[in-house]
């Protein structure tokens, strides 16, 4: 089951991202903030171990974060999202994947394929792999990335962190990769004929980098 992060502060960031009047530089900052707070929320379900520490006046019980994290950044839209997550997961190793969606018109249908011109994934064996992509739309790119991550090794846990997912994308991931846990701020109902999420927030890469 996909988990929707319902914290009102995160939801207020999402509202600003959806607003078409949010300027690209502000959009980019808010994606970074969203990445930071999403990582904070996700960390609840990761590994901590009990320790004791010596304060200047005695001994106290405490916790240290001990999940070994691999963050996967998908160029280019996930750059600010991963940047924000790295502020929480400071020791994360980072994999970079460049993915390009290719649209193919067949009769009345548009088919989406994906090509990966560049890929550099660290060792994932026994690690918690977090794949960050702002939009989980058709899930075609995500399915290709999950395949490549699993070819690389056997992660302890796989997490998909996304700002907005479509119902269609969530259903595809749950069917094909039930071991991947999706965290999102919203699940929108529709996809348009170009594979964009409706109402969504538009093209996350264009909105973050001021291109269109």
Chain residues in the site for ligand URA (CB under 6 A): 77, 135, 137, 196-197, 200, 203-205
Closer residue to ligand URA (CB): 11 or 211: 211
Closer residue to ligand URA (CB): 158 or 165: 165
Between CA 10 and CA 6 the distance in angstroms is: 7
Residue 145 beta carbon to ligand URA: minimum distance, rounded to whole angstroms: 14
The CA-based angle 8-25-6, given to 5 degrees, is: 15
Residue 116 beta carbon to ligand URA: minimum distance, rounded to whole angstroms: 16
Q: How many CB atoms lie within 10 A of CB 6?
A: 10
Residue carrying structure tokens 């980019």: 28
Residue 133 beta carbon to ligand URA: minimum distance, rounded to whole angstroms: 8
Residue 89 beta carbon to ligand URA: minimum distance, rounded to whole angstroms: 23
Closer residue to ligand URA (CB): 30 or 77: 77
Closer residue to ligand URA (CB): 164 or 180: 164
HSE-up of 176 (CA within 13 Å, CB side)?
Answer: 16
Residues 53, 62 contacting (CB under 8 angstroms): yes
Residue 162 beta carbon to ligand URA: minimum distance, rounded to whole angstroms: 10
Closer residue to ligand URA (CB): 93 or 143: 143
């Amino acid at each position: 089951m996909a988990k929707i992060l319902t914290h009102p502060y995160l939801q207020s960031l999402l509202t600003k991202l959806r607003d078409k009047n949010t300027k690209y530089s502000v959009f980019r900052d808010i994606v970074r903030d969203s990445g930071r707070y999403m990582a904070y929320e996700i960390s609840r379900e990761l590994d901590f171990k009990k320790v004791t520490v010596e304060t200047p006046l005695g001994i106290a019980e405490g916790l240290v974060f001990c999940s070994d994290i691999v963050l996967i950044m998908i160029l280019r839209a996930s750059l600010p999202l991963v940047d924000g997550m790295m502020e929480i997961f400071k020791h994360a190793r980072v994999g970079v994947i460049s993915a390009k969606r290719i649209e193919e018109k067949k009769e009345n249908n548009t088919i989406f394929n994906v090509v990966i011109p560049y890929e550099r994934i660290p060792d994932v064996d026994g690690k918690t792999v977090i794949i960050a992509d702002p939009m989980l739309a058709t899930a075609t790119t995500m399915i290709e990335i999950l395949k490549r991550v699993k070819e690389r090794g056997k992660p302890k846990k796989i997490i998909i962190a996304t700002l907005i997912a479509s119902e269609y994308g969530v259903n595809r991931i749950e069917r094909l990769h039930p071991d991947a846990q999706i965290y999102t701020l919203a699940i929108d109902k529709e996809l348009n004929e170009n594979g964009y999420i409706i109402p969504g927030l538009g093209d996350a890469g264009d909105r973050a980098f001021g291109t269109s």
